[in-house]
Amino acid sequence: MTETGVFNASILIVDDEALNVKLLALLLGEAGYARIASTMDPHQVCALHRKNRYDLILLDLRMPGMDGFQVMDGLKEIETEGYLPVLVLTAQPEEKLRALRAGARDFLSKPFERAELMARVHNILEVRQLHVERKRLYDDLLVEHKLLIELSAQPGAMVGVKKDERLVTPWYRSLGLRLPWLQLNLVAAFVAAAVVGLFQETIDRLLILTMFLPVLAGQSGNTGSQALAVTLRGVFLGELDLVKERALVLKEALLGLLNGALVGLVAAFCMYVVAAVKHMPNALMLSVVVFLAMIGSCVISGALGAVTPLVLRKLGADPVIASSIFLTTATNVASMGMLLGLATVLVK
């Protein structure tokens, strides 16, 4: 903890003698402590601490109506972890051990010395801030652990294996969880097959295209999956609002364009080589078709990878479970439709 953090700590002085309150406030203020409050009524301490959560309470033990031990009992109900940021003030030596057993962090004997006061206050505040930091890190660790559990369930959920299915789940229960999604996936596969069927004449004429259909489907599918993973992570972490959603879609479309162009160059070269080896007169145009189809399908897949879970979430559906099936269908249709459509138009 930095010195600035120590001197910005909040301190409450509790004493029924006005002179002691003024003296402690004066000494702490001169030392550089900027956030000092006080009360002469011990009945107000718990309410004040519940509201302000002081880093340190300088607490007199001998007060009329309610002594310091009773105050600490009340503070224990607020500080449920058992850490009381209390420095007791006492003139009775026999009360020191009792105060420490009651949960006080330290004690200061009356009449107190300035040097001892400053040292004990500084030390307690350092320990207090370390305690707060440790708790914050522990809470962050719990959040991360919960997030990892959720993320670990995503791969299975995205293909119809729900997160409540385990290795010990009975086979009939697993069948009931998975079959509906496999049926939906079958329907989606027929949609993609229908697109291919629309261009059967082109395939019969340019059979070489069938070699590159799985290449484009694989590349566009991976592009969409990457965008989907980033989007789902943003949904889980609560990082997305309307502005960020639009920016994410544009970013993924741009990445699809750039990656599609770079990968498309390699795929186009391979198409040219294969077509040239087979002595096809339209080898150059076929490579152009592959290049353009790769770019187009990757742009569409990247954008859809970001859009699909956002739309499903707005419709009230689980984006983790449903996104993969819809995205796979869309990327297959886009890649196959782009390749066969461009070939139909450009290759005569």
Identify the residue with better confidence: 163 or 171. Answer: 171
Q: Does residue 295 share a domain with residue 207?
A: yes
* For range 43-56, the mean pLDDT: 90
Q: Does residue 209 share a domain with residue 76?
A: no
Strands of the sheet containing 56-60, edge to edge, are: 35-39, 10-14, 56-60, 86-90, 106-109
Lowest-confidence pick of 80-89, 100-109, 234-243? 234-243
In a domain, 69, yes or no: yes
In a domain, 159, yes or no: no
Q: Does residue 240 share a domain with residue 125?
A: no
Percent of the chain with pLDDT over 90: 21
Smallest CA-to-CA distance from 343 within 297, 295, 270, 285 is with: 285
Sign of CA dihedral 219, 220, 221, 225: positive
CATH code for position 112: 3.40.50.2300
Say whether pLDDT at 1 is over 50. no
Q: Does residue 211 share a domain with residue 128?
A: no
Show which of 110, 134, 158 is a domain's final residue: 134
Q: Does residue 231 share a domain with residue 86?
A: no
Show which of 99, 134, 169 is a domain's final residue: 134
- Residue 141: predicted pLDDT: 66
In a domain, 183, yes or no: no
CATH code for position 261: 1.10.357.20
Lowest-confidence pick of 96-110, 131-145, 239-253, 268-282? 131-145
Tell me the whole-structure pTM to 2 decimals. 0.52
- Residue 158: predicted pLDDT: 46
Lowest-confidence pick of 3-17, 144-158, 218-232? 144-158
Q: Does residue 232 share a domain with residue 119?
A: no
In a domain, 339, yes or no: yes
pLDDT per residue as tens digits for the range 287-316: 999 999 999 999 999 999 999 888 888 887
Residue 150's pLDDT band (cuts 50, 70, 90): low
Q: Does residue 212 share a domain with residue 107?
A: no
- Residue 129: predicted pLDDT: 75
In a domain, 279, yes or no: yes
Mean pLDDT, the chain, as a whole number?
82
In a domain, 298, yes or no: yes
Show which of 103, 134, 165 is a domain's final residue: 134
In a domain, 167, yes or no: no
Q: Considering its fold, how many domains does the chain have in total?
A: 2
CA–CA gap between residue 52 and residue 13 (Å, rounded)? 13
* For range 327-337, the mean pLDDT: 87
- Residue 268: predicted pLDDT: 93
Phi and psi, residue 93, nearest 5°: -55, -35
- Residue 31: predicted pLDDT: 87
Strands 106-109 and 35-39: unpaired
Say whether pLDDT at 286 is over 90. yes
Query: Position of tokens 């040097």?
Result: 115
Say whether pLDDT at 236 is over 80. no
Say whether pLDDT at 130 is over 80. no
Q: Return the axis-axis angle of helices 171-198 and 319-346, rounded to nearest 10°.
A: 20
CA–CA gap between residue 80 and residue 128 (Å, rounded)? 15
- Residue 262: predicted pLDDT: 95
Q: Does residue 258 share a domain with residue 128?
A: no
The domain of 320 spans 191-346
Q: Does residue 9 share a domain with residue 98?
A: yes
Q: Does residue 217 share a domain with residue 109?
A: no
In a domain, 234, yes or no: yes
Q: Does residue 195 share a domain with residue 129?
A: no
- Residue 155: predicted pLDDT: 46
Q: Does residue 241 share a domain with residue 114?
A: no
